[in-house]
Structure 1
């Protein structure tokens, strides 16, 4: 499968009193990872929004393993875990500055019309995205973008 990699320099404002990244910031990093993956596939989420389609999170999960600290470079790895033409689940791993696994997670999304929040079929409305998602899942394991 295609795995997108995004490096993040940990900023002081992202840390808590213990000097480690505050847990909610990982959700922002997951968004950065999704955006990077979508760009690696040749698409632009902002363009979809201009067409009146948004992709809200309908489920999110995060498991914290090791801390990430101020001054480190974090690495966010993102891939498509599941996709059925309507819903997509992205998988994530965050590595800390020592290369240790700091977080695993998933987020599940559905595309909807912004004005009505009615779901759309990615397969039908965006057939190019549909094919790219299927192909990204089929690529040889470990292939990184």
Structure 2
């Protein structure tokens, strides 16, 4: 596995907006902490679609991603009815993995609710063995986001 490439220049971009549903809250009336992982996943999926490299294209190209690590830091509470803006950016691109930095804010006041990281590993669709991140994906990320080298 090669060394990761850092991208300090890429700005966060909003990819997914959602209104907190009652079912996503706990007995305290705030968003249950586990729901943020779903929000994070929806944001990553939207990122893939935005760069023109959704799951369908991954499958057609013979690969998929597996989540290898995720972490979230909870900063403030969201409540039923709040509109959330979910943002992310790619911050590392290794030979077989890439890492997103994620954050979610309350739309009404811009307050930071949670932030963290999620790392995906490229996996061959048939063998499920780790494989290099395809150059076409690297190029799509770099073209969309900028500031990310595409050496693999």
Q: Match for residue 104 of structure 1?
A: 115
The answer as to 2:44 corresponding to 1:34 is yes
8 Å CA contact 1:4–1:37 kept in 2: the answer is: no
**Residue number among 21, 30, 46 corresponding to 1:20 in the alignment:** 30
Q: CA deviation at 1:17?
A: 0.5
Name 1:133's counterpart in structure 2: 141
Task: State the TM-score, normalized to the length of structure 1.
Answer: 0.84
Aligned to 2:3: none
Q: Is the 8 A contact 2:68 2:120 kept in 1?
A: yes
How is 1:1-145 mapped onto 2 (pairs within 5 angstroms)?
1=10, 3-5=12-14, 6-49=16-59, 52-96=62-106, 97-122=108-133, 126-135=134-143, 136-138=145-147
Instruction: Give unmatched runs, 5+ long, in structure 1.
Output: 140-145
Change (3 A) 1:50 1:14: farther
Separation (CA, whole Å) in 2 of partners of 1:91 and 1:103:
11
TM-score normalised by L of structure 2: 0.81
Q: 1:50 to 1:132 in 2, by over 3 A?
A: closer
Instruction: State the superposition RMSD in angstroms.
Output: 1.8
Q: Check the 8 A contact 1:111/1:119 in 2, yes or no.
A: yes
**Runs of 4+ in structure 1 over 6 Å off:** none
